[in-house]
Amino acid sequence: MTNTIGIISALYARPFTREHFGAFARAKAAGCDFVELLVPEPGELDLEATRKALAGQGLGVALAARVNLQRDLASSDAACHEAGVRYLESCVQIAGRLGATIVGGPLYGAPLVFAGRAPAPVEESERQRRLDRIVDGLRRAGKVAADAGVKLAIEPLNRFETDIANTTGHGLQLVEAVGSPAVGLMLDTFHMNMEDYSITDSIRRAAPHLIHFQACENNRGYVGAGHIDWPDVARTLAAIGYRGAITLEPFRRNDERAGVPLAQWRPPDGSEDAQLAHSVAFLRATLDYAWRQQ
Amino acid sequence: MTNTIGIISALYARPFTREHFGAFARAKAAGCDFVELLVPEPGELDLEATRKALAGQGLGVALAARVNLQRDLASSDAACHEAGVRYLESCVQIAGRLGATIVGGPLYGAPLVFAGRAPAPVEESERQRRLDRIVDGLRRAGKVAADAGVKLAIEPLNRFETDIANTTGHGLQLVEAVGSPAVGLMLDTFHMNMEDYSITDSIRRAAPHLIHFQACENNRGYVGAGHIDWPDVARTLAAIGYRGAITLEPFRRNDERAGVPLAQWRPPDGSEDAQLAHSVAFLRATLDYAWRQQ
């Protein structure tokens, strides 16, 4: 077995604070190798206590960065752009203190629906300026990351969440423009299912730059519960020799009533330990079969 | 061949006005049986001229309704709710004048991303009040539709476009609560691919109420270009005996540059006649094979 499998902290709670450390033992019991923590905001988590609590369970850690319009590499507001660079630098520092080597997410900024912004046309000159600002910011943060032995992983999001990088191709354009050894690509199957013509073709195309992976069912639920072809995804990850981490992000709550916002994060209705254990076992099985076929 | 295949008017232009009537001959030449028009806003189209132009090409017509926060059955603002009911009634009148028998779309209202609204938690009492208002409005509009021989088709949209009906199950909850013979369900594979555990299971479940269907590739591009399993979709439509119309909605433009908003409607860069003809032929082939297997 070559890939480690982890779980996003938001499965349990958001914000995730010291009172939720009990989740680490549950993640371990469900078969996880690591936890992907949303990068804690200042004062949200004691980093040394968190590191110890993770180590106490033998769990590794990855980090998921959170951007908004006030810290946004794409912003035409110089202060927001600078705050975006400083935020990424702070993520690298936090990674170092927690022992994480990956900070992933939509690091380029420009959130849409979750910032209450509607998609709107972008003039070609402004499109290029936004990309230039992003590349500049990622190069600067990338230097800090390289010095710290941390990698920044750019995640394409679906068209409703950003208008910068939606497809794997968009993400690769950014990574190649940045050209930093500390800046790579991460892929999330929830977004790929919406935006890429073929999930497996995109994984193959991303191979030289792929440094992190999130496995999410088509409806953001538990891997194995929906219609993504997981054996095919696993065979492709093995075929390109991807030996990195794979994070589960089951955000879909078990509530099928009309009028309940599905895009809104909700706390779990009860323990989802059994469902998580099933998804970890399912994914581990498909990966094991896939690697044996290489 | 049992199903008719049509094309959404927004493929060609939005707004679609008299100067775009040349598109009807192109749609016919591409193999379409009908055009699905966005319901024209007042003054946008001469209805009698449009009817004649469609008839001149031997094309049928269906209508796609457009809601916003000012005409919104879900609204707690009584004026906006009433405007939502009146809008649906006007859609029924327009359908009568154009010779359409289907008016489809997110008739329940509550737009999110395209209205610049972020998803937010909804209190249980407000959730129920919104559904009550929607059901009330659909019953009233349904009476007008029934008298006119028109059917209203409720379309679930993905989680980013509304927080009322995202899944096929949500749509069925509304249709069953309304209980009007003139109010049924429509399904769109773009949204189903994001929200339903299984597209084909959902089609089977929707069978008793399914009155309209939109075939859209996983990334809102041309049917046959992405990863939806179209033979399986066609076999399921045939298996449930769905003999209604199927509309193509290829909104994805051929532009793979980062930073171009994919959720924003854009005019085509040039003629997409050949791509449309391929999609019609592809879908007709899968449907023909499917019906022969019944």
Distance from CA of A228 to the nearest CA of B (A): 9
pTM above 0.95, yes or no: yes
**Mean pLDDT, residues B24-46:** 97
> What confidence score (pLDDT) does residue A1 get?
62
CATH number at residue B38: 3.20.20.150
The residues pairing with B183 across neighbouring beta strands, listed in sequence order, are B152
CB proximity B127 to A under 8 Å: yes
Residue that wins the pLDDT comparison between B253 and A200? A200
Question: Is the predicted ipTM greater than 0.95, yes or no?
Answer: yes
CA atoms within 13 A on the CB side of B27: 32
Q: How far apart are CA A36 and CA A39, in angstroms?
A: 9
Interface test with A, best of B264, B266, B275 (most A CBs within 10 A): B264
Q: Which of B155, B161, B195, B272 is catalytic?
A: B155
Q: How far apart are CA A291 and CA A239, in angstroms?
A: 8
From A74, which residue of chain B is nearest by alpha-carbon distance? B259
Q: Strand A183-188 vs strand A151-154: parallel, antiparallel, or unpaired?
A: parallel
Q: How many domains, in total, are found in chain A?
A: 1
How many residue pairs from chains A and B have C-beta atoms closer than 8 A? 153
| B148-179 confidence digits (pLDDT tens) | 999 999 999 999 999 999 999 999 999 999 99
Residue that wins the pLDDT comparison between B253 and A151? A151
> What confidence score (pLDDT) does residue A10 get?
96
* Amino acid type, B95: A
Question: Are the beta carbons of A128 and B259 separated by less than 8 Å?
Answer: yes
CA atoms within 13 A on the CB side of A96: 13
Nearest Cβ partner for A258 among B164, B258, B264? B164
> What confidence score (pLDDT) does residue B254 get?
84
Strands (E), chain A: 5-8, 34-38, 60-64, 102-105, 151-154, 183-188, 210-215, 246-248
A 13-52 residues inside an 8 A Cβ radius of B: none
| B63-84 confidence digits (pLDDT tens) | 999 999 999 999 999 999 999 9
Closest by Cα among A151, A188, A157 to A170: A157
CB proximity B154 to A under 8 Å: no
* Amino acid type, A133: R
Nearest Cβ partner for A219 among B114, B170, B194? B194
DSSP state string for chain B: --S-EEEEGGGT-SS--GGGTHHHHHHHHTT-SEEEEEPPPTTT--HHHHHHHHHHTT-EEEEE---BTTB-TT-SSHHHHHHHHHHHHHHHHHHHHHT--EEEE-TT--B-GGGTPPP----HHHHHHHHHHHHHHHHHHHHHHHHHT-EEEE----TTTBSS--SHHHHHHHHHHH--TTEEEEEEHHHHHHH-S-HHHHHHHHGGGEEEEEE--TTSS-TTSSS--HHHHHHHHHHTT--S-EEE-----S---TTS-TTS----SS--HHHHHHHHHHHHHHHHHHHHT-
Taking contacts as CB-CB distances below 8 angstroms, the residues of chain B near A266 are: 121
Question: How confident is chain A (294 residues) per 10-residue block, as mean pLDDT?
Answer: 93 96 98 98 96 98 97 98 98 98 98 97 97 98 98 98 98 98 98 98 98 98 98 98 98 92 92 97 98 95
CB proximity A201 to B under 8 Å: no
B 56-95 residues inside an 8 A Cβ radius of A: none
Handedness of CA A36, A38, A42, A45 (dihedral sign): negative
Taking contacts as CB-CB distances below 8 angstroms, the residues of chain A near B219 are: 194-197
CB proximity B236 to A under 8 Å: no
- At residue A128, the 3 state secondary structure works out as helix
Nearest Cβ partner for A199 among B227, B263, B264? B227
CB proximity B124 to A under 8 Å: no
Tokens of A52: 């110890």
* Amino acid type, B143: K
Q: Are A289 and A234 in contact (CB under 8 A)?
A: yes
Taking contacts as CB-CB distances below 8 angstroms, the residues of chain A near B174 are: 258
Using pLDDT thresholds of 50, 70 and 90, give the confidence band for residue B255: confident
Question: Are the beta carbons of A166 and B262 separated by less than 8 Å?
Answer: yes
Active site residues of A: 155, 249
Using pLDDT thresholds of 50, 70 and 90, give the confidence band for residue B5: very high
Closest by Cα among B285, B191, B100 to A263: B191
Provide the residue range defining the domain that includes A146: 5-292
> What confidence score (pLDDT) does residue B1 get?
61
CB proximity B196 to A under 8 Å: yes
How many C-beta atoms surround the C-beta of residue B149 within 10 A?
11
**Residue in this structure with the two tokens 């916003």, named with its chain if needed:** B68
Q: Are A163 and A122 in contact (CB under 8 A)?
A: yes
Mean pLDDT computed over every residue of chain B? 97
Question: Are the beta carbons of A163 and B116 separated by less than 8 Å?
Answer: no
Question: Are the beta carbons of A116 and B121 separated by less than 8 Å?
Answer: no
Closest by Cα among B63, B65, B68 to B88: B65
From A157, which residue of chain B is nearest by alpha-carbon distance? B262
